[in-house]
Amino acid sequence: MTISQVFIFLCFLISLSFTDGTQLIIVNNCKESIWPGILGTAGYPTPQSGGFHLHSGEQQVLDVPENWSGRLWGRQGCCFDEQTGKGSCQTGDCAGLLQCRGLGGVPPATLVEMTLGTSKSDLHYYDVSLVDGFNVPVSMRPIGGRMGCGVAACEADLNVCCPSTLVVMKQGKVVGCKSACLAANSDRYCCRGVFADPKSCKPTVFGHLFKAICPRAYSYAFDDSTGLKTCKAPRYVITFCPPNYG
């Protein structure tokens, strides 16, 4: 290498280690298109105006600021007017908009939730949640984190083993699987009211089923012990339809 090449390389390394925020690399490993939806928690920005299209095999890099908090989910079977960005999705739809602009997705949808630093700690907390049900397998994997950084994931297709009472069908196909809370909307299943604490809110038979199939996901309220991951990494890869890495 020449001196100038060494200099450029060093600048590159420095720029990598001094970026303030966190990089999220969104990968679509599914055979079909995914339209990720993104929603910043109140007070935090929403990148990409809240949604975009990822062809099969495509990826998109998002830079989110320090301490960013928000959620991301996959929408499937979408059809949008190219001029207006209006249309609909079979799952995860946000008022029929390509760019969700502050709206959440219609459940059931697998949610990737994260808080990338708080006023109390610079640690990152994240999970793949099935509390609002399931539509597509997804994982969140840190790159370059410290020891003990976990992978949050639901890598299996819960749609194929969804109990019939929880199934969501579109055009004759199972496209989603409701959680017990979503299906029953009762305090017991949703851990609300008198059930709003870990002692009285126990996982249901469905919570146990979800947990058995997706052990690295957050399957019911208060599933913090195995569902919630902690890390401090400069970047994370969020993969829809991740290959099973056991």
Ligand X SMILES: *[C@@H]1O[C@H](CO)[C@@H](O)[C@H](O)[C@H]1NC(C)=O
Pairwise CA distance, residues 231 & 229, whole Å = 7
The only residue of 66, 81, 197, 224 in contact with ligand X, by rule CB under 6 A: 66
Task: Give me the least distance between CB of 17 and ligand X, in Å please.
Answer: 17
- For position 224 contacting ligand X by CB under 6 A, the verdict is no
Residue whose CB is less far from ligand X, 188 or 232? 232
CB burial readout 24-49, b (16+ within 10 A) else e: bebbbbbeebbbbbbbbeeebebbee
Nearer to ligand X by Cβ, of 63 and 122: the residue is: 122
Member of 122, 144, 161, 200 binding ligand X (CB under 6 A): 122
Structure tokens at 174: 């199972």
Q: Closest approach of Cβ 122 to ligand X, in Å? A: 5
Q: Cβ 67 to ligand X, closest distance in Å?
A: 4
Q: Which stretch binds ligand X (CB under 6 A): 116-124, 139-147, 191-199, 227-235?
A: 116-124
In the numeric block, which tokens belong to residue 165?
């009472």
Can residue 63 be called a binding residue for ligand X (CB under 6 A)?
no
HSE-CB of 36 using CA atoms within 13 angstroms: 31
- Residue placing its CB nearer to ligand X in the complex, 45 or 57: 45
φ, ψ for residue 188, nearest 5 deg: -65, -50
- Region from 7-15, 65-73, 96-104, 217-225 binding ligand X, contact rule CB under 6 A: 65-73
Q: Write the CB contacts of 70 (distance below 8 Å, at least 6 apart in sequence).
A: 38, 39, 40, 41, 44, 46, 64, 113, 114
Query: Is residue 67 close enough to count as binding ligand X by CB under 6 A?
Result: yes
**Contact track, ligand X, 178-207, x by CB under 6 A:** ------------------------------
Among 2, 15, 83, 119, binds ligand X (CB under 6 A): 119
Nearby residues of 26 by Cβ (< 8 Å), 6 or more positions away: 36, 54, 59, 60, 61, 62, 72, 238, 240
DSSP string computed for 72-114: EEEEBS-EE-TTT-BEE-SBS-STTBSS-TT--PPSS--EEEE
Q: What is the C-alpha to C-alpha distance for residues 37 and 53, in angstroms, rounded to an integer? A: 9
Minimum Å distance from CB 125 to ligand X? 13
Residue 117 near ligand X by CB under 6 A: yes
Write down the least CB distance from residue 66 to ligand X, Å: 4
Q: How many residues bind ligand X (CB under 6 A)?
A: 7
Instruction: Give residues in contact with ligand X (CB under 6 A).
Output: 65-67, 117, 119, 121-122
